[in-house]
Amino acid sequence: MPGGGFSKLPNGSVVVALSLPSPLGDGSTARFLVLARNRARALTRLRNLGLRAVYLRGNVEPPTPDEITAVLHHPDGLLWRGQPGATQELWHPIRALLQDARVREG
């Protein structure tokens, strides 16, 4: 079941973490991290990338401290990982996911 959550940072911004079906259509789940001024803006960033049915209901799976650190240190503030909870897999910039999806479509 897809889930997610958020953490409010001391500076007022939020980190939103969502576990969603992979946009690659391979039946797997992907974990997305977004840094934004507020939750609505974080969800809008994902929707603008083509993940149209993205909603955050509750705070069941908030970002872990490691996830918060990862997204804070990334220039785009938007990361994904194909296997949620798999610490051996590195976080990828969203550009890598979008390029992979375009290659599969093309």
pLDDT tens for residues 18-46? 988 776 677 778 889 999 999 999 999 98
Mean pLDDT, the chain, as a whole number? 83
Number of alpha helices (DSSP H) and beta strands (DSSP E) in the chain: 3, 5
Stated pTM of the model: 0.82
Q: How many domains does the chain have?
A: 1
Which two structure tokens, joined as six digits, stand for 36?
């934004």
8 A C-beta contact, residue 44 and residue 89: no
- How do residues 42-66 score in pLDDT, each as one tens digit? 999 988 887 777 888 889 999 999 9
Domain extent for 53: 3-105
